[in-house]
Structure 1
Amino acid sequence: MYSARDHVENEQWLADIDAAGDRLDLGSAARSRAVDLFLSTVPEEERSKSASLAAALYVGALIEGDRRSQGDVAEAVGVSRLSVQQKWKDLIEEAGLRKPSW
């Protein structure tokens, strides 16, 4: 779980989630889930935050039924598709959610 302090300390990253959500035309439930996921698992290293943000957006959209491709999410955030691909499954497990069974 995260605190209000985490929200304040990551304010710019949360603005980036919102901006990428706009580019992806994501609904509010997917964005809210992405924020929760990001703040619950935010890495300490600055260089890892963009990939974590992208994975949080991808998973948030996936869980809320507002699915977008890994490539589209990566482009909206400005990371490689591989970054999303490498992080999203771990993020789902860390959050205690079940992977989709496509």
Structure 2
Amino acid sequence: MYRARDQVENEAYVETIDEIGDALDLSDRARSRATDVFLSNVPNDERSKRAVLAASVYVGSLVAGDRRSQSAVAEAADVSRLTVQQRWKDLVEETGFDAPEW
């Protein structure tokens, strides 16, 4: 879980989640889940925040049943698909969700 302070300190990233959500036409539920996942896993390293943000959007879309491809999320978040691929499962598990078994 995250603190209100985390949301204030990362306001620009939360806004970016909404921008990515607009680009992907994500539901409000998916955006809310992505925000929760991101704020619960904000890294200290500024360089890693964009990668965690992108993976959080992917996880949020999965959990909300508003699934988007890793490639689509990566493109909208301006990161590589590999970045999303390498991080999403850990975020799912760290936030207490069950990773899909495809």
Q: Give the alignment's TM-score, normalised by structure 2.
A: 0.98
Q: Which residue of 2 aligns with 1:57?
A: 57
Q: Helix, strand or coil: the match of 2:96?
A: coil
Q: Which residue of 2 aligns with 1:3?
A: 3
Q: Which residue of 2 aligns with 1:38?
A: 38
Give the Cα–Cα distance (whole angstroms) in 1 for the partners of residues 33 and 93 of structure 2. 15
For residues 13-38 of structure 1, what are the alpha-carbon distances to aligned partners after superposition, in whole Å with 9 as ceiling and x for unaligned? Answer: 00100000000000000000000000
Q: Which residue of 2 aligns with 1:70?
A: 70
Q: Which residue of 1 aligns with 2:20?
A: 20
Give the Cα–Cα distance (whole angstroms) in 2 for the partners of residues 13 and 96 of structure 1. 22
RMSD value, Cα: 0.5
- Which one-letter code corresponds to 1:85 in the other structure? Q
Give the Cα–Cα distance (whole angstroms) in 2 for the partners of residues 101 and 86 of structure 1. 16
Q: Give the alignment's TM-score, normalised by structure 1.
A: 0.98
Q: Which residue of 1 aligns with 2:97?
A: 97
- Which one-letter code corresponds to 2:50 in the other structure? S
Question: 1:96 Cα deviation (Å)?
Answer: 1.2
5+ residue gaps, structure 2: none
Aligned structure 1 segments of 4 or more residues deviating by more than 3 angstroms: none
User: What percentage of residue pairs aligned between the two structures are identical?
Assistant: 64
5+ residue gaps, structure 1: none
